[in-house]
Structure formats: structure tokens, C-alpha cells
Amino acid sequence: MTNQGMIARLNAKGVKTYEQIADWQGSDVSGFSAEFGASDSDVNFGELPWKANALAGAINLEDVDLKDTAFGVPFEAPAKVDHDSLIKADFAGEKVKNEADLGIVYAKGAKASHEDDLTTIKGVGPVLSKELNNYDVCCYKQVAAWSDHNVNEFSERLNYFKNRIERDRWIPQAAELECEGDAVEEFKASSEEEAASIFSGQLASGEVKQDVNYGILYAEKPGEIDDLKKIKGVGKVLEGKLNEIGVYRFKQVGVWTKPFCEEFAKMLTSFKDRIYRDNWIAQAKGLHNEKYDDKL
């Protein structure tokens, strides 16, 4: 994992196992880097925790996918999370509640709109998954929204070390899994010229305008509107926000430019890259073609 001189120096500091390095937090990484980095500039201390975690699990480093969110510096959950805002944005219409200790959980007896396979999160096996379900946690987006206090609470209730939850990076894993969605086409934004061409007639009549921040917008609610909630990642609350600024049709989303995507991403209270991961543009084009038999 590193050179023999570094191993000897770490041993002298009492660091003798992969498990110890895998448990390093950000302060440990910066501390050892500051102490040893000048004389061992070839060592990337930021990579040591995830490499040690892999080796502790008998995983060959050459087999590790560097894009896998299960590997990296142990993830420390934020001290505070605005669970009430997340409930409105990402759990609209579902029977969930904000519990101080457990974060966002489903009400007893309530059925989630869908249930995820929590064992897909590396570090969560069938037993832990079942226990999480018993605490009414059954979706990736619930785990992705945990605060540091929630992590502490679950580590106690599950009889599972907090540092393992952080080391295995449950939260970033869950966030990425929640955003993955189904396979869609390669993300490709439109140009302003393409958008203007597709809406040329409506732009000329004044029915729509081309906004510098938000793309093609309707001046008034059109007679024919689309159910934007059919786009994976768009819930009732977000659909309402889109309608408020004049977005009512799949066609409008289908011609978003990259800057427009970045503006709309600011509206998302969590998973701000879901526009790209779930490829809203490709979804919108497909839904438009399916409904109107008109390929954009």
C-alpha cells in the first residue's frame, strides 16, 4: 500500500493494522499528511483510508473501481440536515415523518411508494437491511439524508460501529444509488439555437419566450400540459416550482441547455446532480415522443 519507510514510521506511531488506517477521519489524514508528507511526497494520504479498507476486506486494490462511492475517505455525516424540507421535496405525498433520532422514516403501517434493496449498499448485509426495515427505513433516499446524530443513533440500535458506517460510506453510496435511475441515453443538452428553432412558431406568436436563465417558458398556462412527475426525479413539489416559472411541457425540458440545467439544479434540496444522472432531457424527449408521436 505504501513504502517500507512509511510503514515503519506509522508503526512507530502505533498504527499497525489496515483497520486503524481505514478508520481515519479527515483530521487524521491531514495530521499524518502534515507530519510525514514533506519527506514522503509520493504518498497520497487521502487515498490511504479507502485502500486500507479494501485491503482489510481482502479486496485487491487493482479490482477497486475508483468511481465506486464505497471507497474514499470515511464520510462524516453533516451535523444538521433539514429533514422537513427534504420531506416536502423528495417524499411528497408519502406518509413519512421527521424523527429527531432516526431522520426521515415511514409512519407505522405506511407503505413506501417503492422499496430499495438496501443490501446494494456495501457494508449492509441481509441482517442489517432487515433491521433497518424494522425501523421503517426502506429507501436509499432515507439513508442519504442521515445527519451525524442519526448515524450515531443507528449505530447504537443496530449494534454496529459508527466508524464502519462512515468507513463504508453508506450515505454517499445511498445518494448515488438513489440518483442512478434506469439506463438512459448519453446526457446531451441542446443549444439555444436548437431550442429556438423547435419553438419558433410559438416564440413568434408570443405564446412562449426564451429566458436567459430558464430556457423556453410559457407566458401563461397552456391548454395542453404534461405530467412532469413522469420524469424520474420530479415530484409534486418540484413540478409545482417548474409550473410557477412557466415550464409545463416535456418538450421544454427536452430542449434545456447545459446552463439551464445548472439553474434548475439549484432548485433541488438534495441530489442536485439527479438532472444529469437520471438524464431528464432524454426522459423528457422520450415522454414527448410517446405522447405526441413527435421525435425531438
Q: Which residue has the cell 478508520?
A: 23
Q: Each residue's pLDDT tens digit in the chain (296 positions)? A: 457 778 888 899 898 998 888 878 778 888 888 888 666 667 788 888 888 888 887 778 887 776 778 888 788 899 999 999 888 877 877 899 999 999 999 998 888 877 899 999 988 999 999 999 999 999 999 999 999 999 999 999 998 878 889 988 999 899 888 765 444 456 788 899 999 999 999 999 999 999 988 899 999 999 999 999 888 778 777 888 899 999 999 999 999 998 888 888 877 765 666 788 778 999 899 999 999 999 98
What sign does the dihedral 161-162-163-165 (CA atoms) show?
positive
Confidence (pLDDT) at 124: 93
From CA 120, how far away is CA 116, in angstroms rounded? 9
Q: How far apart are CA 4 and CA 223, in angstroms?
A: 72
Q: How confident is the model at residue 213, as a pLDDT?
A: 85
**Biggest CA pair distance of the chain:** 77
- Model pTM above 0.85: no
Confirm if 275 and 265 have CB atoms less than 8 A apart: yes
Residues 190, 282 contacting (CB under 8 angstroms): no
**Helix intervals (H) in 79-147:** 83-90, 126-134, 140-144
